[in-house]
């Protein structure tokens, strides 16, 4: 099942993100992070859940986590000023939901 949001199409089966029909290069962990967030769109996930899922519980620096999150945000066109909504959020952005 593909997910459409804005000009992006997220295809988990092909492990691909497309913007306006063109493939967007993603590092494997960035793709996995986006997939995890889309799968869990109905709830706020903790940092520990992200680390357990994406890094399989390995110890990861805050800088590495922040780098992957920033790369995921950039890939979907989130510049911090506009309101980017992932599929399945019921019309609410992460900003609308507040922080965990």
Interval 52-90: pLDDT, tens: 999 998 999 999 999 999 999 899 888 776 665 555 544
In the chain, where the domains are located: 3-79
Burial class of 58 by CB neighbour count within 10 A (0 to 12, 13 to 18, 19+) = exposed
Q: Are 38 and 83 in contact (CB under 8 A)?
A: no
pLDDT for 6 equals 80
pLDDT for 7 equals 83
Dump strand ranges (E) for the chain.
3-5, 8-11, 16-19, 22-24
Arithmetic mean of pLDDT over the chain: 82
Residue found by looking up tokens 């709830």 in the block: 43
Q: Are 6 and 20 in contact (CB under 8 A)?
A: no
Q: Name the fold adopted by 3-79.
A: Arc Repressor Mutant, subunit A (1.10.10)
């Amino acid at each position: 099942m593909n997910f459409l949001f804005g000009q992006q199409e997220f295809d988990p089966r092909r492990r691909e993100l497309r913007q306006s029909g063109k493939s967007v290069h993603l590092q494997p962990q960035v793709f996995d992070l986006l997939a995890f967030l889309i799968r869990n769109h109905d709830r706020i996930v903790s940092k520990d859940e992200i680390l357990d899922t994406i890094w399989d519980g390995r110890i990861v620096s805050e800088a590495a986590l922040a780098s992957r999150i920033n790369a995921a945000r950039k890939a979907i066109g989130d510049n911090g000023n506009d309101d980017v909504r992932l599929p399945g959020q019921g019309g609410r952005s992460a900003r609308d939901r507040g922080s965990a």
